[in-house]
Structure 1
Amino acid sequence: MTEQQLGDWRAKALALENLLGQAIIGQPTVIRQLLIAIFARGHVLLEGSVGTGKTTLLRAAAQGLGGAYQRVEGSIDLLPADLIYYTYLDGNGKPRVEEGPLLKQGERLAVFFFNEINRAR
Protein backbone atom coordinates (compact mmCIF):
# COMPACT_ATOMS: atom_id res chain seq x y z
CA MET A 1 0.00 0.00 0.00
CA THR A 2 1.39 3.39 -0.96
CA GLU A 3 1.63 6.45 1.24
CA GLN A 4 -1.12 8.06 -0.85
CA GLN A 5 -3.45 5.10 -0.30
CA LEU A 6 -2.75 5.12 3.44
CA GLY A 7 -3.49 8.84 3.52
CA ASP A 8 -6.76 8.29 1.66
CA TRP A 9 -7.86 5.58 4.11
CA ARG A 10 -6.91 7.76 7.06
CA ALA A 11 -8.97 10.63 5.65
CA LYS A 12 -11.96 8.31 5.19
CA ALA A 13 -11.61 6.98 8.74
CA LEU A 14 -11.42 10.49 10.19
CA ALA A 15 -14.45 11.58 8.14
CA LEU A 16 -16.43 8.61 9.48
CA GLU A 17 -15.24 9.38 13.01
CA ASN A 18 -16.43 12.97 12.57
CA LEU A 19 -19.82 11.79 11.25
CA LEU A 20 -20.28 9.45 14.22
CA GLY A 21 -19.19 12.22 16.57
CA GLN A 22 -22.05 14.35 15.27
CA ALA A 23 -24.55 11.54 15.92
CA ILE A 24 -23.24 10.66 19.38
CA ILE A 25 -21.92 13.51 21.50
CA GLY A 26 -19.50 12.90 24.35
CA GLN A 27 -18.38 9.37 23.47
CA PRO A 28 -15.12 9.83 21.51
CA THR A 29 -13.46 6.74 23.01
CA VAL A 30 -16.38 4.48 22.11
CA ILE A 31 -16.46 5.89 18.58
CA ARG A 32 -12.71 5.39 18.11
CA GLN A 33 -12.89 1.82 19.42
CA LEU A 34 -15.84 1.07 17.13
CA LEU A 35 -13.86 2.35 14.15
CA ILE A 36 -10.85 0.24 15.11
CA ALA A 37 -13.09 -2.83 15.22
CA ILE A 38 -14.65 -1.95 11.85
CA PHE A 39 -11.29 -1.53 10.12
CA ALA A 40 -9.95 -4.67 11.82
CA ARG A 41 -13.07 -6.56 10.64
CA GLY A 42 -13.89 -7.43 14.22
CA HIS A 43 -16.89 -7.51 16.50
CA VAL A 44 -18.00 -5.06 19.16
CA LEU A 45 -19.88 -5.61 22.40
CA LEU A 46 -21.58 -2.38 23.46
CA GLU A 47 -22.78 -2.22 27.04
CA GLY A 48 -24.69 0.62 28.59
CA SER A 49 -27.90 1.75 30.18
CA VAL A 50 -31.00 2.50 28.18
CA GLY A 51 -30.68 5.79 26.34
CA THR A 52 -26.88 5.94 26.08
CA GLY A 53 -26.92 5.91 22.27
CA LYS A 54 -25.95 2.35 21.37
CA THR A 55 -28.62 1.99 18.68
CA THR A 56 -28.06 5.51 17.36
CA LEU A 57 -24.32 4.88 17.10
CA LEU A 58 -24.79 1.66 15.14
CA ARG A 59 -27.37 3.20 12.81
CA ALA A 60 -25.01 6.10 12.14
CA ALA A 61 -22.14 3.67 11.51
CA ALA A 62 -24.22 1.72 8.99
CA GLN A 63 -25.22 4.93 7.24
CA GLY A 64 -21.66 6.26 7.24
CA LEU A 65 -20.33 3.01 5.80
CA GLY A 66 -23.07 2.91 3.17
CA GLY A 67 -24.35 -0.44 4.40
CA ALA A 68 -27.52 -1.89 5.81
CA TYR A 69 -28.56 -1.95 9.46
CA GLN A 70 -30.02 -5.17 10.83
CA ARG A 71 -31.36 -5.53 14.38
CA VAL A 72 -32.33 -8.71 16.21
CA GLU A 73 -33.90 -8.78 19.66
CA GLY A 74 -32.50 -11.45 21.92
CA SER A 75 -35.13 -13.58 23.61
CA ILE A 76 -35.19 -16.76 25.61
CA ASP A 77 -36.83 -18.68 22.75
CA LEU A 78 -34.46 -17.45 20.01
CA LEU A 79 -32.45 -20.30 18.52
CA PRO A 80 -29.20 -19.98 16.55
CA ALA A 81 -30.99 -21.26 13.44
CA ASP A 82 -33.41 -18.31 13.70
CA LEU A 83 -30.55 -16.01 12.72
CA ILE A 84 -30.08 -17.94 9.48
CA TYR A 85 -33.65 -18.86 8.51
CA TYR A 86 -37.12 -19.31 9.93
CA THR A 87 -40.06 -21.48 8.98
CA TYR A 88 -43.77 -20.76 9.13
CA LEU A 89 -47.09 -21.76 7.62
CA ASP A 90 -48.45 -19.37 5.01
CA GLY A 91 -52.11 -18.38 4.60
CA ASN A 92 -52.81 -21.61 2.71
CA GLY A 93 -51.26 -23.78 5.40
CA LYS A 94 -48.17 -24.57 3.33
CA PRO A 95 -44.78 -24.57 5.05
CA ARG A 96 -42.46 -21.74 4.01
CA VAL A 97 -38.83 -20.94 4.68
CA GLU A 98 -37.61 -17.33 4.83
CA GLU A 99 -34.11 -15.95 5.17
CA GLY A 100 -33.14 -14.88 8.65
CA PRO A 101 -31.32 -11.64 9.38
CA LEU A 102 -27.85 -13.02 8.61
CA LEU A 103 -28.77 -14.54 5.25
CA LYS A 104 -30.91 -11.54 4.36
CA GLN A 105 -27.78 -9.40 4.18
CA GLY A 106 -25.71 -12.11 2.49
CA GLU A 107 -22.49 -10.74 1.09
CA ARG A 108 -23.49 -7.09 1.47
CA LEU A 109 -21.92 -4.75 3.95
CA ALA A 110 -24.14 -4.51 7.03
CA VAL A 111 -24.08 -3.54 10.68
CA PHE A 112 -25.73 -6.35 12.62
CA PHE A 113 -27.09 -5.34 16.05
CA PHE A 114 -27.98 -8.21 18.38
CA ASN A 115 -29.83 -6.41 21.19
CA GLU A 116 -30.05 -8.06 24.60
CA ILE A 117 -27.76 -10.93 23.61
CA ASN A 118 -27.74 -11.99 27.27
CA ARG A 119 -31.38 -13.12 26.91
CA ALA A 120 -30.65 -15.58 24.10
CA ARG A 121 -29.67 -19.17 24.76
Structure 2
Amino acid sequence: MAHAIEQSDANTKANELLFRRLTVEDAADAHIAALEKAPQLGFDIFIISAPTPFQPDDCAALIADAPSVVARYFPDYPALYTKKGWTMFSSIDRVYDASRARDRLGFVCKTSFADVLASIEVA
Protein backbone atom coordinates (compact mmCIF):
# COMPACT_ATOMS: atom_id res chain seq x y z
CA MET A 1 0.00 0.00 0.00
CA ALA A 2 1.28 3.45 -0.80
CA HIS A 3 0.62 4.81 2.70
CA ALA A 4 2.18 4.02 6.05
CA ILE A 5 0.61 1.04 7.80
CA GLU A 6 -0.39 1.89 11.36
CA GLN A 7 -1.52 -1.58 12.44
CA SER A 8 0.50 -4.25 14.20
CA ASP A 9 1.83 -7.17 12.18
CA ALA A 10 -1.02 -9.53 13.20
CA ASN A 11 -3.62 -6.81 12.62
CA THR A 12 -2.20 -6.00 9.19
CA LYS A 13 -2.17 -9.66 8.17
CA ALA A 14 -5.78 -10.09 9.30
CA ASN A 15 -6.87 -7.02 7.32
CA GLU A 16 -5.02 -8.18 4.23
CA LEU A 17 -6.88 -11.51 4.21
CA LEU A 18 -9.81 -9.45 2.92
CA PHE A 19 -8.14 -8.52 -0.33
CA ARG A 20 -4.61 -9.80 -1.03
CA ARG A 21 -3.04 -12.18 1.50
CA LEU A 22 -2.98 -15.93 2.00
CA THR A 23 -1.47 -18.23 4.59
CA VAL A 24 1.71 -20.22 4.05
CA GLU A 25 -0.39 -23.39 4.20
CA ASP A 26 -2.70 -22.14 1.46
CA ALA A 27 0.30 -21.11 -0.66
CA ALA A 28 1.74 -24.63 -0.36
CA ASP A 29 -1.63 -26.20 -1.23
CA ALA A 30 -1.94 -23.90 -4.25
CA HIS A 31 1.43 -25.09 -5.53
CA ILE A 32 0.37 -28.71 -5.12
CA ALA A 33 -2.88 -28.02 -6.99
CA ALA A 34 -0.91 -26.37 -9.80
CA LEU A 35 1.49 -29.30 -10.04
CA GLU A 36 -1.39 -31.75 -10.20
CA LYS A 37 -3.18 -29.78 -12.93
CA ALA A 38 -0.07 -28.92 -14.97
CA PRO A 39 -0.33 -31.92 -17.30
CA GLN A 40 -3.88 -30.87 -18.28
CA LEU A 41 -3.41 -27.10 -18.29
CA GLY A 42 0.12 -26.59 -19.46
CA PHE A 43 1.37 -23.11 -18.60
CA ASP A 44 -0.80 -20.52 -16.88
CA ILE A 45 -0.50 -17.69 -14.37
CA PHE A 46 -2.67 -17.41 -11.26
CA ILE A 47 -3.33 -14.94 -8.50
CA ILE A 48 -3.73 -16.81 -5.24
CA SER A 49 -5.27 -15.03 -2.28
CA ALA A 50 -7.84 -15.66 0.42
CA PRO A 51 -11.44 -15.46 -0.76
CA THR A 52 -12.59 -11.85 -0.82
CA PRO A 53 -16.13 -10.89 0.08
CA PHE A 54 -15.92 -7.76 -2.04
CA GLN A 55 -17.72 -7.20 -5.33
CA PRO A 56 -16.79 -4.80 -8.14
CA ASP A 57 -19.52 -2.44 -6.95
CA ASP A 58 -17.61 -2.02 -3.66
CA CYS A 59 -14.52 -0.46 -5.22
CA ALA A 60 -15.28 3.24 -4.79
CA ALA A 61 -16.53 2.74 -1.23
CA LEU A 62 -13.45 0.67 -0.32
CA ILE A 63 -11.23 3.58 -1.30
CA ALA A 64 -13.38 6.14 0.52
CA ASP A 65 -14.29 4.22 3.69
CA ALA A 66 -13.09 0.62 3.90
CA PRO A 67 -14.26 0.03 7.50
CA SER A 68 -17.88 0.67 6.53
CA VAL A 69 -17.70 -1.74 3.61
CA VAL A 70 -16.10 -4.44 5.76
CA ALA A 71 -18.83 -3.94 8.38
CA ARG A 72 -21.51 -4.58 5.76
CA TYR A 73 -20.05 -8.03 5.14
CA PHE A 74 -18.93 -8.72 8.72
CA PRO A 75 -21.18 -6.82 11.15
CA ASP A 76 -19.38 -8.28 14.18
CA TYR A 77 -15.92 -7.22 13.09
CA PRO A 78 -15.87 -3.78 14.82
CA ALA A 79 -16.59 -5.29 18.26
CA LEU A 80 -14.15 -8.15 17.71
CA TYR A 81 -11.44 -5.76 16.54
CA THR A 82 -12.05 -3.54 19.57
CA LYS A 83 -11.56 -6.61 21.76
CA LYS A 84 -8.09 -7.09 20.21
CA GLY A 85 -7.24 -3.39 20.05
CA TRP A 86 -7.09 -3.67 16.25
CA THR A 87 -8.19 -1.29 13.51
CA MET A 88 -9.15 -1.68 9.88
CA PHE A 89 -7.33 0.07 7.07
CA SER A 90 -9.11 3.32 6.30
CA SER A 91 -8.81 2.63 2.58
CA ILE A 92 -8.31 -0.44 0.40
CA ASP A 93 -7.03 0.47 -3.04
CA ARG A 94 -6.96 -2.95 -4.72
CA VAL A 95 -8.60 -6.34 -4.39
CA TYR A 96 -6.94 -9.43 -5.83
CA ASP A 97 -9.22 -11.69 -7.85
CA ALA A 98 -8.38 -15.37 -7.37
CA SER A 99 -11.32 -16.63 -9.45
CA ARG A 100 -9.03 -17.90 -12.22
CA ALA A 101 -7.34 -20.25 -9.73
CA ARG A 102 -10.77 -21.40 -8.57
CA ASP A 103 -12.04 -21.94 -12.11
CA ARG A 104 -8.92 -23.45 -13.73
CA LEU A 105 -7.21 -25.20 -10.80
CA GLY A 106 -10.22 -25.90 -8.63
CA PHE A 107 -8.30 -24.20 -5.82
CA VAL A 108 -9.71 -21.91 -3.13
CA CYS A 109 -7.73 -20.87 -0.06
CA LYS A 110 -8.98 -22.51 3.13
CA THR A 111 -8.23 -19.57 5.43
CA SER A 112 -10.24 -16.35 5.16
CA PHE A 113 -10.95 -13.17 7.08
CA ALA A 114 -13.99 -14.90 8.58
CA ASP A 115 -11.64 -17.47 10.13
CA VAL A 116 -9.67 -14.70 11.82
CA LEU A 117 -12.87 -13.25 13.26
CA ALA A 118 -13.96 -16.69 14.47
CA SER A 119 -10.64 -17.13 16.26
CA ILE A 120 -11.04 -13.76 18.01
CA GLU A 121 -14.58 -14.67 19.05
CA VAL A 122 -13.38 -17.91 20.66
CA ALA A 123 -10.44 -16.32 22.46
Do they superpose with TM above 0.5?
Answer: no
TM-score in terms of structure 1 length: 0.23
Normalized per residue, the structure richer in helix is 2
Q: Which structure carries more relative contact order (alpha carbon 8 Å, separation 6+)?
A: 2
Q: With the length of structure 2 as denominator, give the TM-score of the two structures.
A: 0.23
Structure with larger Rg = 1
Structure with the larger strand share: 1
